[in-house]
Amino acid sequence: MVSKDDYSHHISQQYNSELDEIRSQFLAMGGQVEKQLGDALDALINGDSNLALQVQEYEKSINAMESRIDDECMRILARRQPAASDLRMILAIGKAIIDLERIGDESYKIARYALALSEEGEAPRGYVETRHIGQDVRHMVHEALDSFARLDVDQAFAVMRADGSIDLEYKSATRALMTYMMEDPRSISRVLNIMWVLRSLERIGDHARNLSEQLIFLVKGADVRHTSYDLIEKALQTNPK
Amino acid sequence: MVSKDDYSHHISQQYNSELDEIRSQFLAMGGQVEKQLGDALDALINGDSNLALQVQEYEKSINAMESRIDDECMRILARRQPAASDLRMILAIGKAIIDLERIGDESYKIARYALALSEEGEAPRGYVETRHIGQDVRHMVHEALDSFARLDVDQAFAVMRADGSIDLEYKSATRALMTYMMEDPRSISRVLNIMWVLRSLERIGDHARNLSEQLIFLVKGADVRHTSYDLIEKALQTNPK
Q: What is the pLDDT of residue B5?
A: 72
**Three-state SS at A28:** helix
Q: What is the pLDDT of residue B231?
A: 82
In contact, B15 and B80? CB cutoff 8 Å = yes
Q: How far apart are CA B22 and CA B27, in angstroms?
A: 9
Longest dimension (CA), chain A: 85
CA distance A130 to chain B (A): 19
Q: What percent of chain A has pLDDT over 70?
A: 95
The predicted pLDDT at position A206 comes to 95
> Looking at the complex, does the CB of residue B98 fall below 8 Å from at least one CB of chain A?
yes
Q: Kindly determine whether residue B94 and residue A94, on different chains, have CB atoms separated by under 8 Å.
A: yes
Which region, left, alpha or beta, applies to residue B228 given φ > 0 means left and ψ of -120 to 50 means alpha? beta
Contacts of residue A141, Cβ cutoff 8 Å, sequence gap at least 6: A33, A34, A37, A103, A204, A207, A208, A211
Residue A239 is classified by DSSP as P
Which residue among B71, B77, B192 sits closest to A77, beta carbon to beta carbon?
B77
To 10 degrees, the CA torsion angle through A229, A232, A237, A239? -170
Contact B182, B139 (CB under 8 A): no
State CA B164 to chain mean position distance.
16
Burial of B104 (0-12, 13-18, 19+ CB in 10 A): buried
What's the whole-number mean pLDDT along residues A22-43?
96
- Give me the residue from A74, A87, A199 closest to B78, CB to CB: A87
The answer to whether residue B13 neighbours chain A at the CB level (below 8 Å) is no
Mean pLDDT calculated for residue range A202-221: 95
Instruction: Report d(CA B155, CA B164) in Å as an integer.
Output: 15
Q: Does the beta carbon of A149 lie under 8 angstroms from any beta carbon of chain B?
A: no
Count, residues in chain B: 241
Which residue of chain A comes nearest to B175, CA vs CA?
A189
Contact A181, A191 (CB under 8 A): yes
State how far the alpha carbon of A99 is from the alpha carbons of A93, A156, A204, A211, B80, in Å: 10, 15, 9, 7, 28
Q: Report DSSP letters for A155-180, one per residue.
A: HHHHHHHHHHHHHHHHHHHHHHHHHH
Residue with the larger pLDDT of the pair B232 and A78: A78
Give dist(CA A206, CA A226) in Å, integer. Answer: 13
pLDDT of residue B4: 66
**Which of A74, A87, A185 shows the shortest C-beta gap to B182?**
A185
Quote the distance between the C-alpha of residue B87 and its chain's center: 21
Q: How far apart are CA A203 and CA A199, in angstroms?
A: 6
Q: What is the pLDDT of residue A117?
A: 85
Cross-chain residue pair A87–B71, CB shorter than 8 Å:
no
How many CB pairs below 8 Å do chains A and B form together?
Answer: 64
Nearest chain A alpha carbon to B59: A226
pTM, two decimal places:
0.91
Residue from B59, B88, B182, B202 to probe the interface with A (highest A Cβ count within 10 Å): B182
Give pLDDT, residue A214.
95
Mean pLDDT score, B222-235: 83
Nearest to A88 by CA among A73, A100, A72, A101: A73
Q: What is the pLDDT of residue A124?
A: 62
B124 falls in which pLDDT band (50, 70, 90)? Answer: low
Give the span between the Cα atoms of A107 and A201, in whole angstroms. Answer: 8
Q: What is the pLDDT of residue A217?
A: 93
Residue of A nearest to B73 (CA): A91
Of A5-14, A151-160, B26-35, B62-71, where does mean pLDDT reach its minimum?
A: A5-14
Instruction: Choose from A93, A224, A225 for mutation: most chain B CBs within 10 A.
Output: A225
Query: Inter-chain contact B185–A189, Cβ cutoff 8 Å?
Result: no
CA count, 13 A, side-chain hemisphere, A38: 10
Give the per-residue pLDDT at B237.
82
DSSP assignment, residue B185?
G
Q: Is A98 on the interface with B (CB under 8 A)?
A: yes
CB atoms within 10 A of CB B238: 10
| Cα–Cα distance for residue pair B225/B232, rounded to 1 Å | 9
Across A120-124, A161-165, A235-239, B59-63, least confident range? A120-124
For residue A98, give the nearest of B70, B71, B95 by CB distance. Answer: B95
The pLDDT of residue A226 is: 81
Which architecture, in CATH terms, is B11-236? Up-down Bundle (1.20)
- Quick count: other Cβ atoms within 10 Å of Cβ A183? 11
Q: Taking CB atoms and an 8 Å cutoff, what residues of chain B touch A71? A: 223
Question: Could you tell me if B81 lies within 8 Å of chain A, comparing CB atoms?
Answer: yes
pLDDT at site B100:
97
pLDDT at A155 over 90: yes
pLDDT(B27) > 90: yes
Mean of all residue pLDDT scores within chain A: 90
* B chain contacts of residue A181, beta-carbon cutoff 8 Å: 181, 185, 188
Domains in chain B: boundaries: 11-236
At position B66, the amino acid (one-letter code) is E
CB contact under 8 A, A188 and B199: no
pLDDT at B211: 97
Cβ burial, residue B84 (10 Å; 0-12/13-18/19+): exposed
Contact between chains at B178 and A188 (C-beta distance less than 8 A)? yes
Q: What is the pLDDT of residues A182-211, one digit of tens each?
A: 999 888 888 999 999 999 999 999 999 999
d(CA A218, CA A211): 10
- The least confident of A8-12, A79-83, A84-88, B47-51 is A8-12
Mean pLDDT of B26-32: 97
Contact B188 A181 (CB under 8 A): yes
C-alpha A48/C-alpha A212 separation (Å) is 32
Q: Does residue A145 carry a pLDDT above 80?
A: yes
Q: Within B47-187, where are the H helices?
A: 49-80, 84-120, 127-150, 153-183
Query: Looking at the predicted structure, is the pLDDT value of residue A2 above 60?
Result: no
What pLDDT sits at residue A232? 84
- pLDDT of A101 over the 70 cut: yes
B-chain CB neighbours of A95 within 8 Å are: 94-95, 98
Q: Does B189 touch chain A (CB under 8 A)?
A: yes
A28 touches chain B (CB under 8 A): no
Residues 6+ apart with CB under 8 A from B233: B157
pLDDT above 60: residue B241: no
CA distances from A8 to A4, A5, A80, A89, B79 (A): 6, 5, 13, 22, 21
- Whole-number Å distance between alpha carbons of A43 and A38: 9
pLDDT at residue A1 in the model: 54
Query: By C-alpha distance, which of A98, A63, A86, A82 is closest to B87?
Result: A82
Per residue in B157-197, pLDDT (tens digit) is 999 999 889 989 999 999 999 999 999 988 888 899 999 99
CA-based nearest residue to A200, from A166, A154, A223, A175: A166
Kindly state the average pLDDT of the residues A85-92: 95
CB atoms within 10 A of CB A86: 16
